[in-house]
Amino acid sequence: MARAAESPVIAPLLEWFDEHERPLPWRRSTPWGVLVSEFMLQQTPVDRVLPLWTAWLERWPTPTSLAEAPVADVLRAWGRLGYPRRAQRLHATAVVLRDQHEGAVPEDHQALLALPGVGEYTAAAVLAFAFGRRSLVLDTNVRRVVARTVGGAAEPTASISAPERALAEALWPADDARSARWSAAVMEFGALVCTARSPSCLACPIQEHCTWVALGQPVAATGSRRQPKYDGSDRQARGHLLAALRDSSEPVSARTLARTWPDADQRRRALTSLLADGLIVRSGRGRFALPD
Give yes or no for a contact between 268 and 237, defined as CB atoms under 8 angstroms apart.
no
pTM, to two decimals: 0.88
pLDDT tens sequence for the chain (292 residues)? 445 688 999 999 999 999 999 999 999 999 999 999 999 999 899 999 999 999 999 999 999 999 999 999 999 999 989 889 999 999 999 999 999 999 999 999 999 999 999 999 999 999 999 999 999 999 999 999 999 999 899 999 989 999 899 999 999 999 999 999 999 999 999 999 999 999 999 889 999 999 999 999 988 765 555 666 778 888 888 888 888 888 888 888 888 888 888 888 888 898 888 888 888 899 878 888 898 8
Q: Tell me, yes or no, whether 39 and 145 share the same domain.
A: yes
**Residue 3 has what pLDDT?**
57
CATH of the domain at 259: 1.10.10
Task: Assess whether 278 and 148 both reside in one domain.
Answer: no
What pLDDT was estimated at residue 237? 87
Full DSSP string of 165-225: HHHHHHHS-SSHHHHHHHHHHHHHHHHHTS-SSS--GGG-TTGGG-HHHHTT-PPPSSPPP
Residues 218 and 123 in one domain: yes
The domain boundary residue, chosen from 226, 245, 269: 226
Residue 114 and residue 83 share a domain: yes
- Residue 282 belongs to domain spanning: 234-289
* SS3 assignment, position 287: strand
Considering the domain architecture, whether residues 136 and 258 belong to the same structural domain is answered as no
Q: What is the model's pLDDT at position 247?
A: 87
pLDDT at residue 2, as a whole number: 47
- Per-residue pLDDT, 271: 86
* Number of structural domains found in the chain: 2
Q: For 44, which DSSP code?
A: S
Confidence (pLDDT) at 267: 87
Same domain, 168 and 33: yes
Q: Which residues are catalytic?
A: 38
Contact 67, 20 (CB under 8 A): no
pLDDT at 1: 42
**Residue 284 CB partners (closer than 8 Å, separation 6+):** 251
Pair 221, 249 in one domain: no
CA distances from 28 to 23, 34, 126, 150 (A): 9, 9, 13, 31
Contact between 31 and 97 under an 8 Å Cβ cutoff? The reply is no
Those residues with Cβ within 8 angstroms of residue 280's Cβ, 6 or more apart along the chain or in another chain = 241, 242, 245, 271, 274, 288, 289, 290, 291
Together in a domain, 63 and 108: yes
